[in-house]
Amino acid sequence: MKLSVLNIEGKETGKKAELNKDVFGIEPNDHAIYLDIKQYTANKRQGTHKTKERGEIRASTRKIKKQKGTGTARAGAISNPIFRGGGRTFGPSPRSYNTKLNKKLKQLARKSALSYKAKTKSIIIIEDFMMEAPKTSEFERISSNLKVQDKKSVFVFNETNKNIYLSSRNLKSIKVVTASDLSTYDIMKASSLVLSESSIEVINQILGN
């Protein structure tokens, strides 16, 4: 599959970029995508939720009523979960939500997501460019030229560029990542996937057979 390469003005350069069919043209595996996104979102959870149980409540330990003769259940302390302000029964406690997936499954998920984007013609190839200084308005102009300013877009570069990152971080609908950090979640969430020429080579190296 070949796509035209655009410049930062949104015009065709006359060059064509070849997308590896083993990465961008496979039969998508929906279950692999589901598992990878499930792991991604689970691993982002902090797991710091906590409620106090009965033994952690600081309260008087005196017996609040006599044992018998009240017509109600026995109650030995105000920290009992049945009372307002008492401990919570079976409440949440800190835990890790991290899960693991096989490397090949994660690769299959990313290739499936990229294949979906290729099928729906949601991939844009842009020639490599640099920014001499962080400037949000300039990056916004580039995204406007590419007609992705109003869409959830992910820009993928072959390596980290501080000025490009700083220029884009205030634009809510745009995310900048490196090819090695591109996740299935980012691909599927984006309406448009903007790949730099050099990032395609990195993606092919990581995901190609």
- Residues 135 and 178 grouped into a single domain: yes
Tokens found for residue 148: 């992705």
Q: Taking residues 130-152, what's their average pLDDT?
A: 90
- Residues 107 and 183 grouped into a single domain: yes
- Residues 191 and 151 grouped into a single domain: yes
In the prediction, which pLDDT does 18 show? 87
pTM: 0.82
Strands 2-6 and 12-18: antiparallel
- Residues 107 and 145 grouped into a single domain: yes
Instruction: Using the predicted structure, report yes or no on whether residue 208 has a pLDDT greater than 80.
Output: no
Give the number of domains in the chain. Answer: 2
Residue 30: domain span: 2-44+100-207
5 CB neighbour count, 10 Å cutoff: 20
Q: Which of 25-39, 74-88, 180-194 has the lowest mean pLDDT?
A: 74-88
Whether 199 and 163 have beta carbons less than 8 Å apart is answered as: no
Q: CA-to-CA distance for 38 and 132, rounded, in angstroms?
A: 38
61 CB neighbour count, 10 Å cutoff: 9
- Residues 107 and 153 grouped into a single domain: yes
170: DSSP letter: T
DSSP bridge pairs for 176: 155
User: Which of 79, 96, 113 is the last residue before a domain boundary?
Assistant: 96
Which residue has tokens 């560029």? 161
- Residues 33 and 64 grouped into a single domain: no
- Residues 153 and 75 grouped into a single domain: no
Q: CA-to-CA distance for 44 and 131, rounded, in angstroms?
A: 31
Whether 205 and 179 have beta carbons less than 8 Å apart is answered as: no
Using a pLDDT cut of 70, give the percent of the chain over it: 100
Distances (CA, A) of 75 to 2, 56, 71, 153: 76, 17, 12, 59
Instruction: Using the predicted structure, report yes or no on whether residue 2 has a pLDDT greater than 80.
Output: yes
Instruction: Report the CATH number that the domain containing residue 163 is assigned in CATH.
Output: 3.40.1370.10
Q: Taking residues 95-110, what's their average pLDDT?
A: 93
In the prediction, which pLDDT does 192 show? 92
181 CB neighbour count, 10 Å cutoff: 9
Mean pLDDT of the chain: 91
- Residues 14 and 92 grouped into a single domain: no
Q: Taking residues 85-104, what's their average pLDDT?
A: 92
3-state DSSP of 147-164? CCCCCCEEEEECCCCHHH
- Residues 85 and 188 grouped into a single domain: no
Q: What is the pLDDT of residues 150-178, one digit of tens each?
A: 889 999 999 888 999 999 999 888 999 99
